[in-house]
Amino acid sequence: MKNIPSIQRTTSQAKDLAALRQAFQGWKDAPDPLTRLTRRLSTTLSLETQLGILAEEMNASIPFDALSYHHQIAHRDFVFATGMGGPHRCEYRLSLEGVHYGTLTLNRRQKFSEEELEGIEMIISAAICPLRNACQYIAIEQTALTDALTSIPNKRALDEHLERASRLSDRHGEEYALILGDLDHFKSVNDEYGHVVGDHLLRLTAEAIGSTIRNSDSVYRFGGEEFAVLLPHTGEQEARDVADRIRHAVSSLRVDCGGTDLSVTISCGVARHLAEEGASQWIARADEALYRAKAQGRNCTRVFASIG
């Protein structure tokens, strides 16, 4: 008699597990579009992949000619588009619990009916939670790769991008160049004017460097008062020209310190990527060129000369 409750629990658990398996199989094989959509969206945290799934599933129920999505995540624009336009469109501002998660726009040649608009809203309602999770995932990733003071990518982002650039350079024979720049005598700025002024100058420096480079180039805070610029499709001489533009832009900065204009200069080291070279070796050569710039008077550019 003492074993009966245990047997009953075992039987009950077996029934619960059987019901769970049946429910899972039903969810997995459910033919309705909303279940299929949410099931597919739950397999990834890639916002681009999710939007591709959403476009595919939505088009199966409500045909359209083009779908576009725009959102600013961690101060950066995220844009997704598929298909070609049309004169008629419907636009939805995606929100959940008072937080904005982008704008979705559909276009097509024929006007959307009221029933179709209602169907679009139902599909968006089913997709909004996975889309929110993907947006938050991107924001977390961006925070980990962004310098808090200057809002530009940090050293971790630089390391990742240099590794990728090294692989692309080796695979396709493309030229890449790296500039390392270090503000001259920056410690004396902090000592004399304080860290608030120093931090302001670092932010201005990041902006000044960003204003001198192309959209395809990228600037990073390498650490302290040191910055890095990655230049795709760029040779040594072109990179040196960019470094000199950076020096001119930085030396033109002025900070009003109560009747005294504070200015600063920057020294730059340049190195182009060499075949079969890893990111750490590449950085080390650019750093060696920067060291020579510092040793030879500062406020100048030196290139780590390479052969070939």
Tell whether pTM > 0.75.
Answer: no
Helix axes 186-193, 195-212, angle to 10 degrees: 140
* Region for residue 38 given its phi and psi (left: phi exceeds 0; alpha: psi -120 to 50; beta: otherwise): alpha
What is the tens place of the pLDDT at every residue in 140-171?
998 899 999 999 999 999 999 999 999 998 88
Report the greatest alpha carbon distance in the chain: 94
CA 271/CA 252 separation, integer angstroms: 25
Residue-level pLDDT at 53: 97
Say if residue 251's pLDDT is above 50.
Answer: yes
Let me know the angle formed at the C-alpha of 160 by 155 and 163, rounded to the nearest 5 degrees: 120
Residue-level pLDDT at 293: 97
Annotated catalytic residues are 225
Domains delineated in the chain: 31-144 (3.30.450.40), 155-303 (3.30.70.270)
Looking at residue 149, what DSSP letter applies? T
Contact status, residue 251 vs residue 299, Cβ threshold 8 Å:
yes
The total of other beta-carbon atoms located within 10 Å of residue 79's CB is 11
Say if residue 3's pLDDT is above 80.
Answer: no
CA 128/CA 58 separation, integer angstroms: 13
Contact status, residue 132 vs residue 96, Cβ threshold 8 Å:
yes
What is the tens place of the pLDDT at every residue in 7-31?
666 777 777 787 778 777 776 777 7
What is the tens place of the pLDDT at every residue in 84-123?
988 999 999 999 999 999 999 999 999 999 999 999 999 9
